[in-house]
A and B are shown apart, each in its own frame.
Chain A
Amino acid sequence: MRYVGRLFNKKPYGKDGGDFVKAAAELTAYHIRKNKKYKITADQSGFTPDMLKSEEDLCKLPFIPTAVFKRNRLFTEKHFTVKVTTSGTSGGAGEIAFDIPGLFRALKMSLHTFAYKRLFSPRLTNYIVFGYKPDRKNRTGVSKTAFGATLFAPALHRTYALTRVDGKYTADLQKICDKIVEYSKKKHPVRFMGFPSYTYFAIKLLEDRGVNVKLPEGSKIMLAGGWKQYYKEQVDKEEFYSAARRVLGVADKDIIEFFGAVEHPVIYCDCENHHFHVPSYSRVIIRDVQTLEPLPYGRVGLVELITPMIKATPITAVMTDDLGILHPGGECGCGLDQPYLEIVGRVGLKDVKTCAAGAAELLKEVKL
């Protein structure tokens, strides 16, 4: 895995000298050799690794919808792996196995990315985690990511918004708001990490109470995990940033958003203009929602994510449930050349209103 190893030693936004394509060919050849089910999907799409000669050929990779991983065990390696549960927001949770070298690649990528975003700090920090409190029963990727983010700066305290009570997760935003007020009076910076929905709800709750605080210097709001079941309450970014400025005194530059998924464990960080530029470890193909043909820049379609990171599960090219647009890097103006991905929605029949008999079953299958 020469090229796979080399790729993850690179900086997040540099030139890769063709290593990405070579790494993808190397890894897919491995999966085809070791994983009968993956070979079937490759055969089904007429793919062989020698077809990968340039970036343009990446669209020939067999892409697998995330739903397939949720309902099937497609592991290439079964031993010496770490299994992570997917979020389960689109039709049940599944498991992705990570091999140990793959985890090290993920770690290297994370260190490169967070260093690039200057998130490491030696200062003691109070954390508010708008996510799940980790426990043995919770193996979701999002809880691990949130916990991982509390290691960027040494934690003085960690307060979790979602805690398990009688087997169910409940959000205690009142408690969180009290903690925010308490931490705002200390000298240590405060870092928020987690779901944007709960973060926003807490900010609005403070505002409704008439509370405006100024978080200590160096405080940051880190957002990850998407709006999930609160997609209807989703606010645009400007409204979010404006509320954070008003209520917490946190400037735009200190609000950092992450994008990623267990099925595509590459971390996307937003730039100063809050765009998700595609890092060196990943590629994005936007596909037509009807024909699945690749689309040019600026067109809305299904988001396919590619990374040659993991040997234990063939997640090299996954088709997500997201609808997105890929923009040329130059349109952003932040200085990065890499194209950036804009997520504009999720697939789904969730808002369909119908009186056709039997539709309930159909809609239930795709509950988002």
Chain B
Amino acid sequence: MILAHGRIYDTSYQNEILGALEADTNDTLVNKTLDVNKLTDAVITVAEKLKNGEYSDIISAVEGAEKYVQKAADLLSGENVRRAVRSGAPEIPDLPGIDTKIYPVGVLFHIAAGNIDVLPAYSVLEGLLCGNINVLKLPSQDNGITVRILSELIGVMPELADFIYVFDTPSSDLAAMVRMAEAADKIIVWGGDEAVAAVRRFAPPCTDIVVWGHKTGFAYVCEDYASYEEELYGLAKHITATGQLFCSSCQRIFVNTSDCKIAESFCVYFLRLLEKAKEDSANDIGAEAELTLRKLTANIENAINGAESADKTYYGRGTSVTLYEKPELAVSGFYGNIGVSALPEEELFGLLRGKKGYLQTACLIGCTDKIKELALRAGVCRVMKPEDMSEVFPGEGHDGEYELQRYRRIVNIQR
């Protein structure tokens, strides 16, 4: 399915539409300007409809989306959309003899990941808010919601039709992706290392690439952890509630100690909190079974191959805490399975710098301001309370910057 000029086309029209893409976008760049205020009003209209339940058929198509409806409607409220537009706008210095203006980048080519259902539409919306033409390649897992959302927006504001192109091109169709990239001023890629590396391979050298990559969250806990039961229970609730699936989800807990015995005691202590938190969260039986099978397989393989690992796993009901001898910032295993390591304060910075491209959210429990400063200097962008590690809030930065700043150009004209 393709969305172009406000109309839905069958995938078989791809070559035809791509063939005209450069000429069509050039024509739009020359002759049309997106009225961002009008777009903001359109977004507000859609948000109001969302709040009033008009898109219940779309919402019900997305697993678990109901609970985020209010949050999404709030984030798309007039105040928040205007704040987002403002936050991305750079301050214009008063330069003698020079006029400074803000222009859209031009054409943005979005390569969206399928890990969050509304992400592709959101990425296009951000591009629109800066006045850009947006070409979107859908992720293979897209369930049709993206075209529905964007068609709704076009329905409210028909002049958006020439600013939105959506293709369901598979990633294997490199020729089509190259044509989209060639028509673009910037490529916006959402996804993991493999997706980013693939884009870097085919992108024209002169085309800027904006990477919104995958990240790894962590918690750093003081040696006197038992004094922070409430915070640790909050962390356990965050771990079980998010399933550790988000960029901001906690994947590892580091205990500020060099004594492995203290880290081991922490594992036992935290497992109890994790089990308690798990009681209230929904289960994915297939994923849990997979994780259980994987542990069983590893145990048997280690035993028969004489490769007993120094890592030790403590099992709870539907949860586990694994004590890793070697501290590493890495994914743990999802759904209430968390890794723990001893990591003295003096080794924290080095470990984080080794993962600098993957840092985003941290929670610090019982830690000093010095540790917080170390984490921030290493590259952490969000320090959140344990239970709120994956909370989003209006006006927040994205991986250390405002996205909309990346989707605009600053133009200087000498008088």
Question: Could you tell me which A residues sit within 8 Å of B by CB distance?
Answer: 37, 40-41, 44, 64-65, 67-68, 71-72, 74, 289-292, 300-302, 319, 321, 323, 345-362, 365-366
Contacts and interface: CB of A to CB of B under 8 A. Distances in A.
B301 A355 contact: no
21 contacts: A68-B300, A289-B285, A290-B318, A302-B289, A323-B286, A345-B286, A347-B290, A349-B291, A350-B286, A355-B115, A355-B215, A356-B216, A356-B244, A356-B246, A356-B331, A356-B334, A357-B331, A358-B251, A358-B330, A358-B331, A362-B334
Contacts of B141: 353
A68 B302 CA distance: 11
A354 B115 contact: yes
A292 B315 CA distance: 12
A356 B113 CA distance: 12
Majority-rule SS of B interface residues: mixed
Given A72-B301, A356-B331, A323 B214 contact: no
A39 to B, nearest CB: 10
B301 A347 contact: no
A318 B338 CA distance: 28
Q: Which 4 A-B pairs have the closest CB atoms?
A: A289-B289, A357-B214, A347-B289, A358-B331
A68 B293 CA distance: 10
A292 B291 CA distance: 12
Nearest to A356: B331
B288 interface: yes
Given A353-B114, A354-B245, A366-B294, 19 more contacts: A41-B300, A64-B300, A290-B292, A302-B289, A319-B296, A346-B286, A347-B287, A347-B293, A349-B286, A349-B290, A351-B286, A352-B287, A353-B141, A354-B334, A356-B217, A358-B214, A358-B331, A359-B334, A360-B193
A356 B141 CA distance: 17
Interface in B88-119: 113-117
Interface of B: 113-117, 141, 192-194, 213-217, 244-247, 249, 251, 284-294, 296-297, 299-301, 303-305, 317-318, 330-331, 333-334, 358
A40 B290 contact: no
A353 B292 contact: no
Contacts of A65: 293, 296-297, 300
Contacts of B294: 67, 365-366
Contacts of B115: 353-355
Looking at A301, A321, A356, the one whose CB has the most chain B CB atoms below 10 A away is A356
Contacts of A358: 214, 216, 251, 330-331, 358
B333 A348 contact: no
A65 B293 CA distance: 7
A360 B60 CA distance: 27
B247 A356 contact: yes
A353 B191 CA distance: 11
